[in-house]
Amino acid sequence: MDVRRVVSLIFVWQLAASICYYAVFAATPFFRDQFGLSGTAVGLVVTSLTLGYAVFLLPLGALTDRLGERRTLTVGLLGLSVGALLVAGAWSYATLLVGAFLLGSLYGTAMPGTNKAIFDSVPTGRQNLAVGVKQVGVTAGSGVSALLVTGIAGVLFWEAGFYVAAAGGLLVAVLFWLAYRGADTDGDAEFPSFRRLSRNRPYRSLTVAGAFLGAGLFTTTGYTILYVEESVGASVAFGGLVLAALQVAGSVGRVITGWLSDALPGDPRRRIATILLAQAVASAALFVVVAFVETRIAATVAFVVLGFFVLGFTGVYYSCMATVVSAEEMGGATGGGQLALTSGALVAPPVFGYLSDTFSYRVSWLMLAALALAATVFVVQVIRADPPADVTAAAD
């Protein structure tokens, strides 16, 4: 397939999938009001969503390597659409948690499938930019969901945003199946060896760093609207605009850092990991800034700049992964890498909510700053350690 067509189809798929998934983050104020939830209970909704994601990432990554991305991505988006309907139809806190879990589980097709499509179909020298463009679909989808859910809620009811997201997902799933061909396998490929991946030192360090950085990414996305409303004193609609602006900044960050990953000279692994290191350090500093802002203007500016780094690192994260694992392992390796990102989100959101309930939001944001600093230690190890001698990197 033509490279532009591949990237365009993958971007549209990622956009539709992310609108369904991130609608849960945008709806946290409505969950709180409808079910009478504390900050910790709101965090558990995010945890349930990401737990479903985490549980199914590795098997879905393996299935992607075995069956090909066309099948898994199509089925995944159909399931995401159904999951959005289940969340909208929740009649109790317990059913909300179940719906969020099911929605998250099908989002596990996203990163393995889309990354495999990029590294199978896009030539070396353009892959990192392609990953950055594809990753814009994540932040753009999150931004659209923020405006969709909070905007429609002011006119109709909050569930309407989920209905629109589900309808869009179903339409894109059908179009993707008809238009995408890619490099599907014949079903005879072997499942990736996760034991072999675990012996890859730079890959192992990268996934640990991803756990710390993922904690900051998902917690920031889940609590931005609540923080702007409760601590800064703005409306939910204004919080939705801030979250959308945060996502736009993340999109810009993913494209720029993807371009830099292709354009800068030097060894690909060290070059790309150094960019990731800079993003982790900047994220830590900006979490501290967010902890101390008090006005709407200052909060908006701080979140936008934070979004460039903390939401903008995922494209570089996967580009870096492609420099330490082989193309045949990319689906499974991506599943493991995304599992690491998600594992941070299993614990951090409820802890963030507990700290804000017990102490203050300032303490919560400083916790995320500490986690970002911890990530830098492991990114340095990615730069210093070499992959196994028998690994031919996917990005080579």
Give residue-wise pLDDT tens across range 286-343: 999 998 988 888 889 999 999 999 888 877 888 888 888 776 666 667 777 877 887 8
Query: Which CA distances in Å does 191 have to 52, 58, 119, 332, 345?
Result: 21, 11, 18, 8, 27
For the chain, the residue count is 396
Band (pLDDT 50/70/90 cuts) for residue 390 is low
Instruction: State both tokens at 231.
Output: 């601590």
Band (pLDDT 50/70/90 cuts) for residue 392 is low
Which residue, chain included where needed, has tokens 């104020």? 29
Task: Identify the pLDDT of residue 261.
Answer: 81
Distance (Å, whole) CA 66 – CA 122: 20
Task: Identify the pLDDT of residue 125.
Answer: 66
- 42-97 pLDDT tens trace: 878 888 887 888 788 777 777 777 777 788 888 889 999 998 899 888 888 888 89
**Better-scored residue on pLDDT, 372 or 263:** 372
Does the structure show a pLDDT above 90 at 171? yes
- 119-162 pLDDT tens trace: 777 766 666 677 767 777 777 787 788 778 877 766 677 788 88
As a whole number of Å, the end-to-end CA separation of the chain is 21
DSSP 8-state code for residue 174: H
Amino acid at the residue 265: P
Task: Identify the pLDDT of residue 366.
Answer: 95
Distance (Å, whole) CA 147 – CA 153: 10
Q: Residue 193 CB: number of other CB atoms within 10 A?
A: 12
Does the structure show a pLDDT above 70 at 192? no
- Average pLDDT (362-383) is 93
Q: 3-state DSSP call for residue 187? A: coil
Distance (Å, whole) CA 220 – CA 348: 10
Backbone angles phi, psi at 326, to 5 degrees: -80, 165
Q: Which domains are seen in the chain, by residue range? A: 3-179+191-384 (1.20.1250.20)
pLDDT above 90 as % of the chain: 16
Give the closest residue to 83 by CA, choosing from 150, 129, 18, 7.
18
